Amino acid sequence: MTTTIPQVPVNPQDPTSNPTSTPAEQMHSIGQPLPRIDGLAKVTGQAIYSFDHALPDMVFGTILSATIPHGQVVRVDHRRALALPGVLRVYSCENQPPTPPRVEGGAPYIWFDREIRYDGQDVAMVVATTQAIADEAVGLITVDVAPAPFVATVRAAMAPDAPQAGETPNVEDPGSPYGEPAQYTRGDVAAGLLEAAVTITAAYDLPSQIHNPWEAHVTLATWDGDCVTVYDSVQYPIGARNFIANALGIPSEQVRVIAEYVGGGFGSKLSTKTQAPLAALAARHLERPVRVRLTRAQMHRNARHRPQTLHHLRLGATSAGILTAIDHEVWSGGAPKAQYYESAASTSRYLYACPNLRSAHWRVRVNQNPPGSMRAPGEQQSQFALECALDELAHALRIDPITLRQRNQASTHAVSGKPFSRNSIPTLLDLGSQRIGWDQRAQPPGSQRDGALWRGIGCAVAFYPLHMARAEGRVRLQADGSVLVESSGVDLGTGTYTILAQAAADGLGTTPADITVHLGDTTLPVAPIAGGSMLAASVTPAVYSAALDARQQLIDAALDLPDGLFAGCSASDLVIGAGRVTHRRDAGRAITFAELLRLRGTTEIVGQCNFAADDLPMEYGNFGAHFAEVTVDVETGIVRVPRFVAVHDSGRVLNPTTYRSQIRGGIIWGLSAVLLEASHMDGHRGRITNANLVEYLVPTALDIGEIDVTWLDEPDAGANALGMKSAGEVGITGAAPAIANAIFNATGLRLRHPPFQPPRVLMALRAAGITA
């Protein structure tokens, strides 16, 4: 159903502005700014991350990485490493461990490949009694290689005479690995461009970027008979379990993965990395627990990344600003033998109404570590290019950029043909423009100057589609009065522990203080990946429904008591809390869970729900309007963002504290992506030159100004049982283009190759003849 959007946004600083749920829903915990229930454990060191686990007799593994981008391993000499006291074993392609065929079928897992496809690829691993000895020993291994021609950057790989990165052509159509084709056309783009009163052509070059979660990839493996327990820092424990099982050639039932706390992931930990099966393999051979971790440099060179993407756009519109054509073509960095490509022109297909559209993706294979998902993969790059191009079109048309976007809003998803449940972008743009003071922006661009500081304001739309997947929720009411919520899903620091406690509390009719949440264990109920903003939207409704089921069982048991304690009562007369069932108006009529379960002859009541992500009749999305105020110092090239405004619509907001944190985090990363972050590849050596956190720039607290986050809090009823959507990805999607567009408003210069670090900005200013 389509719901009505309130015209006044929620301000988390003003609790009275938050619309309350209807009495029928009786949601007393959901919607409240409950502090993170795991916060105390984290700040006092009681939260045990994968890196923190230690077991008796534990030993340590260090991986040796390739130092050439392409070639063959001719020989690996382990002898000096094995002679070092404390070294227990060395693995390489010279002693490739035999592995039976995968349980799921296919060729056996290759532990160490003789063919080197990128600098940083695993070549060998040392296991030793201490981490220091293992680190020293890898330096004693001699690797003889036969280098081969390589290509390390997207532009170089696209050259006609470029060497081939792998076994297939460098530039290729990826096909449809994600279910939708890489090439998409509707209408007649050429005719739409001819029809247009104004057209613009723009090219954008977006760099490769690295996830850099605070906790590196790390695995501790220990065996008990034929079964292995793996402590892994991963976003999808069930996927990690299956990967490890297939690498070892054993049934997945013999692998248990535990990830109670995960120190960030941002997509880099959607799948476990090679250190996990290597740790399990070594632990089996040595019959001792083995821990293997990646170094920070290896996190850059061998742990996925957001690939470089080159964008070419052509837009056409009538004089009134109605789009007649969009042509968005993208070349995305890939890797030899890797299927992944960045769907970085996908959002252009449906975010705005346009009858004539072409969206084309090309995978460009280079000799670099395989790319992978990074916060809002595809959407972040797609919306940067599209939103900047729309700003260019608005300037060419002499139309307000907000007006241009509002005139072209889509009521139907052009690819699926389904109507959007609602499209709140016009409302969000109006509200955001009021909060930022849009009418005070520089008109014309470059006209607001305070000495060397030039000011500007820019805007962009933020969008991320709703993703849901199968999830099971389990809620246990136990005889001691405790309530356990269980899920194999993980909390990356996003607040999953907290919102599941809130959902269970409202489903049961109790408080979050009565709830204990267990997460991150493959022995617990099925949950999807903590990525794609999928986990919260899938598991939270499942847990809420499981709590309703448990509550109904408990109420039914109380009403059926043989002693008639609640004789003549209905379910609405009873309340649950503090381990008791109590009459709403007569506190003397009460019974503890323990007594109720004893009389019932059971030890617990288990509420369950198997949430199925059905094919919904509408398209559901997370919408936002982003506005950035920037200053550009034309003497130094330094760009700062003193103020940022974001207004969002994500359906029902489960917890204002965690929601606001998610949106702010996305905005901060968007700022970082456009002003600071880039992985620099030396095209002559095929090696990343800034594989550290000194030269790979990320923001500090001093780089972040005021961030004003507000939202519409209206359930999107058809999405799921709670009418909620998600917040993890959408915050990053509009931030970077809003800042880029603000730089144009401040200076009149259109910068198209982020990051806009001071040297690059200063060169552009001087090239345009701009000085203080």
Which residues are known to be catalytic?
729
674 φ/ψ sector (left φ>0, alpha ψ -120 to 50, else beta): alpha
Please give the torsion angle defined by the CA atoms of residues 505, 510, 512 and 517, in that order, rounded to the nearest 10 degrees.
-60
Q: Find, among 456, 157, 187, the residue nearest to 331 by Cα.
A: 157
For strands 580-583 and 323-334, give the pairing.
unpaired
The answer to whether 116 and 687 are in contact (CB under 8 A) is no
Q: Is the dihedral of CA 596, 600, 602, 604 positive or negative?
A: negative
Whole-angstrom Cα distance, residue 723 to residue 745?
Answer: 38
- 489, 257 in Cβ contact below 8 A? no
**From edge to edge, which strands make up the β-sheet containing 706-712?**
449-450, 453-465, 621-633, 639-649, 706-712
**Total length of the chain:** 772
C-alpha angle 554-559-560 in degrees, rounded to nearest 5: 95
- The amino acid occupying position 723 is G
Helix (H, G, I), strand (E, B) or coil at 527: coil
3-state SS class at 220:
strand
Cβ-in-10-Å burial (0-12, 13-18, 19+) of 469 comes to: middle
End-to-end C-alpha distance for the chain, whole angstroms? 55
Q: What tokens appear for 707 in the block? A: 């961030």
In 3D, which of 692, 686, 630, 672 has the Cα closest to residue 757? 672
CA-closest candidate to residue 662, choices 739, 714, 732, 711: 732
Q: Which of 692, 642, 679 is nearest to 755 (CA)?
A: 679
Could you list the beta-strand ranges (E) of 519-638: 574-577, 580-583, 590-592, 604-611, 621-633
Burial of 44 (0-12, 13-18, 19+ CB in 10 A): exposed
C-alpha span between 534 and 492 (Å, rounded): 13
**How far is the C-alpha of 362 from the C-alpha of 171, rounded, in Å?**
6
Output the CA torsion sign for 490, 493, 494, 499. Answer: positive
536/548 Cα distance (integer angstroms): 18
Strand pairing report for 515-518 and 483-486: parallel
CB 537 within 8 A of CB 720: yes
The rounded distance, in Å, linking the Cα atoms of 87 and 425 is 60
Compute how many other C-beta atoms are within 10 angstroms of the C-beta atom of residue 404: 21
The strand pair at 115-116 and 227-232 is best described as unpaired
Output the six-digit token pair for 87.
Answer: 């070294």
- Find all residues with CB under 8 Å of 401, minimum gap 6, and list them: 390, 391, 394, 395, 458, 459, 741
